[in-house]
Amino acid sequence: MPTALITGASRGIGRAIAQRLAADGYSVIINYQQSAAAAEQLCRRIRQEGGQAAAIAADVSQPEAVAQLFAQIQELCPGPDLLVNNAGIAHFGLISDISFVEWRRIFAVNVDGAFNCIQAALPYMIHQKNGVIINISSIWGLVGASCEAAYSASKGALIALTKALAKELGPSHIRVNCVAPGVIDTAMNSRLNPDEIAALKEETPLGCLGSPEDVAAAVSWLASPQARFITGQVISPNGGFTIC
């Protein structure tokens, strides 16, 4: 049974991805930082549905924590066949108001976290001459968002990282792709008021917000043999909000 590691998987998009990959036949490793109860509840649910799951805490922005995470993974299996870099944090505010500490924290989680996990996963994938890496970016990494400069910049960095790694790792038969969701109905968007939600729906040609399951479906396809000739690409489930 192949193994998938999903970072930031205790809730929202990460949770939906873990559930979908478990249904696809992966043994899933649910990484979380603080939401232990939610992560364990998700593991129980997956097991009840006949899947295999384990929850492991780690702050992926810290190299030492990622080293410990992968040491625990190796107690369960040789290494992840699929890495989904989903852990991320957002920030809303004027660029003139954000502190350097806040700026660095956003990049530490959103970009350094992916870097740390990729470096840790690669020895196994390269040895196997096989593997899939999927980075979860954002529509704002593609087109930018007012008052979300730091978040947009960090998610844009993930897109650039995806494209560069696809070229670097292709000879080792490791595929690297990116999913850049549009406006998704998650807790991260709970700051939006009903009028703002209505405006976003009106701007979206399909007339609705996306769900975490919509993102999970894109990840599932990119991880599957049906996408074996797809690498270095950005898939954006966004309802037509932007068409690049």
Catalytic (active-site) positions: 151
Q: How far apart are CA 110 and CA 113, in angstroms?
A: 6
Residues in Cβ contact with 68 at an 8 Å cutoff, skipping those fewer than 6 apart: 58
Judging by beta carbons within 10 Å of its beta carbon (0-12, 13-18, 19+), is residue 233 exposed, middle or buried?
middle
Using a 10 angstrom Cβ sphere, with 0-12 exposed, 13-18 middle and 19 or more buried, the burial of residue 225 is exposed
Per-residue HEC secondary structure of 199-238 comes to HHHHHCCCCCCECHHHHHHHHHHHHCHHHCCCCCCEECCC
44/54 Cα distance (integer angstroms): 9
DSSP 109: I
Encode burial over 105-119: b for 16+ CB neighbours within 10 A, e otherwise.
Answer: bbbbbbbbbbbbbbe
48: left (phi > 0), else alpha (psi -120 to 50), else beta? alpha
